[in-house]
Structure 1
Amino acid sequence: MAQLGRLLALAALAVGLLLLNMGSGAAAERWCVARKGQTAEALTEIVVKELCQEGAATSENILHDCGPIVPPAGTCFQPNTPFAHASYVINSSWQRRNSRGENVPCDFNGHAALVFKDPSTSAHCRYPSLP
């Protein structure tokens, strides 16, 4: 009888894992965005000095896309907040570097966090994602 109970428990576990895997797909989409709770100054520093420095937009080795957060026509300029701008640029850099096979962690010196919910802010501002 105890053996039957263990067998049923294992079967239930297997079914649960199967359903969990089916619900999330083979590979869940993920995004790397700014970590919440940071100051506007810290986030601006990441965008302006580290990722969108002058000349970055013309570099052949560009690994991020700052154009969408540039006013007034940038598709991701709104919402006009340091958190939103940093999140877009951090994600852009992380996605591009990983798509090139660099296997970069989502950290950016402690300023970023991995999320599994699409952070895109509108139909015009779509954050790229990796499966």
Structure 2
Amino acid sequence: MEGTRHALAFFLLALALLFCFADCSGHAELSSTHSNGRVQEERRNEGVATSWCIAKPSTDDESLNHNIDYSCRQKGVDCRPIQPGGSCFNPDSIISHASFAMNLFYKSAGKNYWNCHFNGTGLIVTQNPC
């Protein structure tokens, strides 16, 4: 019974995190251009755009803060949206902010599974948050 509650709690938290990305994530668009080679290239990249990195719900606050600090120091990661007054500051929770920063790092580093490891605190999801 307790395992079922933990699984349900994990699912609901993961779903909530996905929704927090809805306003802050870019959308990958596929062109309908049929020029030779272009559609084939876009199809090959299509799978890359279908995963996101979020913080595991069981992660302690110290590790989440470390993940934010690490991610936000990396080239190509702009964490201004999760600063007070930023467009993704709300929900104002450490797990939401960490998930945002971790996902930006994951995207900027190439969306490899190891770019979402974060010492075992990252989780790759394939459900589109939008």
Q: Distance in 2 between matches of 1:67 and 1:84?
A: 14
Letter in 2 for 1:117: Q
1:125 is aligned to: none
Q: Distance in 2 between matches of 1:37 and 1:118?
A: 22
Which has the higher Rg, Structure 1 or Structure 2? 1
Equivalent residues of 1:71, 1:77 under 8 A apart? yes
The alignment's TM-score, normalised by the length of structure 1, stands at: 0.55
Task: In structure 1, list runs of 5 or more residues that go unmatched.
Answer: 1-25, 121-131
Q: Select the residue among 34, 41, 58 that pairs with 1:37.
A: 58
Matches within 5 A, 1:1-131: 27=47, 29-48=50-69, 50-52=70-72, 56=73, 62-72=75-85, 74-98=86-110, 103=112, 105=114, 106-119=116-129
The alignment's TM-score, normalised by the length of structure 2, stands at: 0.55
Task: In structure 2, list runs of 5 or more residues that go unmatched.
Answer: 1-45
Q: Distance in 2 between matches of 1:114 and 1:76?
A: 20
Letter in 1 for 2:124: L
Bigger helix share? 2
Over 3 Å counting, the alpha-carbon distance change for 1:83 and 1:119 in structure 2 is farther
Deviations 1:64-109 (A, max 9, x none): 221110111x11100000100000000001111107xxx4522121
2:9 is aligned to: none
Q: Distance in 1 between matches of 2:93 and 2:127?
A: 20
Percentage identity across paired residues of the two chains? 33
